[in-house]
Chain A
Amino acid sequence: MTLLSARGVHVSFSAQGRRARAVDGVDLDLAPGEILALAGESGCGKSTLARSLLGLIRPDNGTISYQGEPLRYDSAALKRYRRNVQLILQDPTGALNPRHTVYEAVAEGLRIHRIGDNETGRVAEALSRAGLRPPERFFLRYPHELSGGQRQRVVIAGALVLDPKVIIADEPVASLDASVRGEILALLLRLRDELGLSALVVTHDLGLAWNIADRLAVMYLGRIVEVGPVEEVLQRPKHPYTGALVSVLPGGQPEVLAGEPPDVSQTPGGCRFHPRCPRLADGTADAAGVADACRTKELPVLDGTTRAASCHLIREC
């Protein structure tokens, strides 16, 4: 049973007179108690997709469904939705209003949804779950008095206080010191184990996916190019892009791609990865007879649940 799903989602922005297709056809499913990592480089659309799943951005096309029900965008429905799906942002310093105490920051969710009973108790429990113990000691602190890791825990507590079923985390540890990251990631895993939370973690760090995710979806230029269990995707990648990303991780034989991902307003025709594809460049695609398809034929949107990769080479085999 899927908890959260996206079907045929398209999101675009107009930038400088051109249409930038940030998310260009995505099907994705998140099961209960699952941690799904959404990986890719900047500009691939992962943050936009995450915000669409939260209802913060309305897709041009396609549906987002929660527990089978499509999302409605009137403010009352969205507000109800927010109690189930919460957000954790990248920069904990920016994510907290510097004028609000920790208590106020965590209680904000409760106040917005007018949950008045036992506010103090709920705040204490959320802070405690997020690893800040004893919680009372943190009530009156201001964000600038806390360390980066502690601030992120406050943000997590703020999300937990509404008892959500899904947490969407956008680069949750990228702004934190390296030695502190492990603790926050361990916290997310613990929350999954103890509370049955599902999580969608947006990250550029494949090592993080290895550390905490069950499944991994790799995005490139608005599409998911490969999806599947983490062990499979990272150790036996099928798509050349995934292969290249994994290869530049330390310890591998780096296959460094030239150039940069093109602007989302200028998506290449055919397979959108073909201008940078090492398999096309080294002749493997020619040998398999798909080189033309790579350049001209667009690939269908991947099914968000199974093990799949969006590449002409694979489809031929």
Chain B
Amino acid sequence: MLTVRDLHVTYHSGQTAIPAVRGVSLDLAAGERLGIAGESGCGKSTLAIALLRLLPRGTEVSGEILLDGEDVLGMSFGRLRAVRWVGASIVFQGAMHSLNPVHRVGRQLAEPMLLHRTVPPSKVEERVTELLGQVGLPPWRAASYPHQLSGGQRQRVMIAMALACEPKLVIADEATTALDVMIQAQVLELVTCLATERGIALVMISHDLSVLSSTCDRLAVMYAGRVIEEGLAHEVFTAPRHPYAAGLAAAFPMVGDDASRLRPRGLAGDPPDPARLPPGCPFHPRCERAIAECESHDVRLRFVGTKHNAACVHIGGLVT
């Protein structure tokens, strides 16, 4: 239900052009859960907001984003507004600060429903109570102000809001990053449960590979604006083929695994600045397995196994 073909997003700041997304293609079926992993500067958040055309004015976008067959990039503004939140919704990073502090929670939940007229005004209150119940909050919370809720509770409100117009796709951009592990577990349980029950497709964006591997069906790892490895979540996390994906996976040690006991592993260097990408393969300055070719030759995704592709020179075979 979601197809992204060769998406390019370039920000223009002053005189510089910053290529945030450099040719990303994805496929997502209804009810499927896709995880997008990556660190700062890899373009994952840009990808998320591009899906609903929420990019700032002046940003250069090319490629195709097909939401249920319709190209988001080609839509008229009226149609786009209708699609936003009803076709697909987003739970943003820093969602806890996305709530208006002077409006009660119930009113903010009602807002998208009233805007899109998906629910007749008489039924809105009922629906708000229903939504709160779905995320595990009691009905009287509708009268609370955001500051009266804890971080975890506010995040649940954001999720409830994302579900308000019964979208077919929910994009969660680092939705659980700032939460405690137990609250995170609660929220993830909730999200996957709701997604499964309602057949909602889910795009989960996070830097935490371990979380993504346990909640998503498929996983795509982004680096410097491209997908450098994609495949079944469990496979990509436990047997990554791209050196970056391997390095990232190693940053989330499994308790009980002797290999990581007193042996922290990380990658040297830092994630690249999108405005100043290295030539050739963007990962080569940090790569242990870099060879001469890596400096001049950027590699596209190559076939590793069923539904598993990685973009590294050390992998033979091209993906058609």
Contact = CB atoms under 8 A, between A and B. Distances in A.
A183 B255 contact: no
B56 interface: no
A194 to B, nearest CB: 15
A153 to B, nearest CB: 12
A178 interface: yes
B266 A207 contact: no
A149 B270 CA distance: 7
Given A185-B266, A189-B262, A256-B185, A178 B207 contact: yes
Contacts of B40: 177
B274 to A, nearest CB: 14
Contacts of B111: none
Contacts of B211: 250
Nearest to A256: B185
B266 A251 contact: no
Interface string B180-202: 11111110010000000000000
Interface in B153-186: 180-186
Nearest to B247: A179
B267 A179 contact: yes
Interface string A196-217: 0000000011110011100000
Contacts of A206: 181, 255
B253 interface: yes
21 contacts: A41-B182, A41-B183, A147-B270, A149-B270, A177-B40, A179-B244, A179-B267, A179-B271, A182-B247, A186-B264, A186-B265, A206-B255, A207-B254, A210-B261, A211-B253, A250-B210, A250-B211, A250-B214, A251-B255, A256-B189, A257-B186
Given A248-B182, A260-B183, A181 B264 contact: yes
B207 A204 contact: no
B253 A177 contact: no
Given A178-B39, A182-B251, A183-B268, A256 B182 contact: yes
Contacts of B214: 250-251
B255 A246 contact: yes
A183 to B, nearest CB: 4
Contact of B270 (A180, A182, A258): A180
B193 to A, nearest CB: 11
A207 B252 contact: yes
Interface residues of A, number: 40
A169 to B, nearest CB: 13
A8 interface: no
A258 B256 CA distance: 26
Given A42-B180, A178-B208, A256-B182, A235 B255 contact: yes
A130 interface: no
Interface of A: 41-42, 147-150, 177-186, 189, 204-207, 210-212, 230-231, 234-235, 244-246, 248-251, 254, 256-258, 260
Interface in B128-144: none
Contact of B253 (A186, A189, A210, A258): A210
A256 B186 contact: yes
Contacts of B271: 177, 179-180
Interface string B245-280: 001101111111100111111111011000000000
B150 interface: yes
Given A211-B253, A234-B255, A234-B256, A248 B185 contact: yes
B262 A177 contact: no
Interface of B: 39-40, 150-152, 180-186, 189, 207-211, 213-214, 244, 247-248, 250-257, 260-268, 270-271
Contacts of A150: 270
Contacts of A189: 262, 264
Contacts of B150: 260
Contacts of B180: 41-42, 204, 260
Given A204-B181, A210-B255, 18 more contacts: A148-B270, A150-B270, A178-B251, A180-B270, A180-B271, A182-B247, A182-B250, A183-B267, A183-B268, A210-B254, A210-B256, A211-B262, A212-B262, A230-B261, A248-B181, A249-B254, A251-B214, A256-B189
A285 to B, nearest CB: 20
Nearest to A213: B262
A41 B213 CA distance: 23
**What are the 7 closest A-B residue pairs judged by CB atoms, nearest first?**
A182-B266, A185-B264, A147-B270, A250-B210, A248-B185, A41-B180, A179-B267
A316 B219 CA distance: 46
Contacts of A210: 253-257, 260-261
Contacts of B183: 41, 260
A257 B264 CA distance: 29
A234 B262 CA distance: 14
A256 B182 CA distance: 7
A244 B182 CA distance: 8
Given A147-B270, A207-B255, A260 B213 contact: no
A75 to B, nearest CB: 36
